[in-house]
Amino acid sequence: MKIVELPIEFEFNGQKNYIYPSLIILNNELTLVDTGYTNFLTLIENEISKNEYEIRRLKNIIITHYDDDHIGSLYAFKEKYPWINIIASAIESTYISGEVKSERLMQAEEMLKNMPNKKIKFGKWFIQQLENLKHVSIDEKVLDGDMILDNKCRVVATPGHTSGHISLYFPSLKSVITGDAAVNENHELAIANPYFCLNIEEAEQSLRKIKNLKAETYYCYHGGKLTL
């Protein structure tokens, strides 16, 4: 088993940006963690091919949480590869499937009410992005401590950024896939975008929780891989 970082380059507001989904290779089968923004399917497919893996071996997609940069292309993946098993926490599953209005959308609508005029355009755009996300049913709902991927991966509840956020711990690899529970900032683990955290105290606790795991490598969705 191994984890491969998939650096995805894109432009936002005229600036070059990156996200870093992770690809888990186990028994010649692939598991993708998070799917980027809408229309990132081809970018991710190309990066998987560049690493000389066959997309037809994609068995699972794990979603760490409901945010447009993490679930944007989930619907497209499921539509193109209908056999894929989609895994998410029980809490986030309700938002991804559309059973419950997402926390992030409710937060964005609330923030818009008090936004300064110069930011209102962005606030409305962000709400539109969230409203345009297509709902997808979750095949496998997981809880804190669940062992998945042939018992090689432990689900770690890391709430704060969102209430059902999960990270993934691989004891045999001494590695953690953090999602947005941590960002690689100046070669240190930090809270990802505190301004958007739904509960900053829980986010701080979750950061401490993953720092306390016996890990040497952290795969951060923002900032990329950090090896201690």
pLDDT at 21: 98
pLDDT at 132: 95
Q: Please report where in the chains the tokens 């229309």 appear, as a residue.
A: 39
Kindly report whether the global pTM for this prediction surpasses the value 0.85: yes
pLDDT at 185: 96
Q: What is the dihedral of CA 210, 211, 216, 220, to 10 degrees?
A: 60
pLDDT at 1: 97
Q: How far apart are CA 217 and CA 71, in angstroms?
A: 24
Average pLDDT, the chain: 96
**8-12, 16-20, 79-83, 176-180: which range is least confident on average?**
8-12
Please state the separation of Cα 148 from the chain's center in Å: 17
Q: What is the pLDDT of residues 128-141, one digit of tens each?
A: 999 999 999 999 99
Percent helix / strand / coil, the chain, rounded to 5: 35, 30, 35
Q: What is the pLDDT of residues 111-123, one digit of tens each?
A: 999 899 888 999 9
Question: What's the start-to-end Cα distance of the chain, in Å?
Answer: 20
Q: What is the CATH number of domain 2-101+134-227?
A: 3.60.15.10
pLDDT at 13: 80
Single out the residue of 148, 161, 129, 166 nearest to residue 36, CA to CA: 129
DSSP, collapsed to helix, strand or coil, labels residue 197 as: coil
What percent of the chain has a predicted confidence (pLDDT) above 90? 94
Q: What is the pLDDT of residues 141-198, one digit of tens each?
A: 999 999 999 999 999 999 999 999 999 999 999 999 999 999 999 999 999 999 889 9
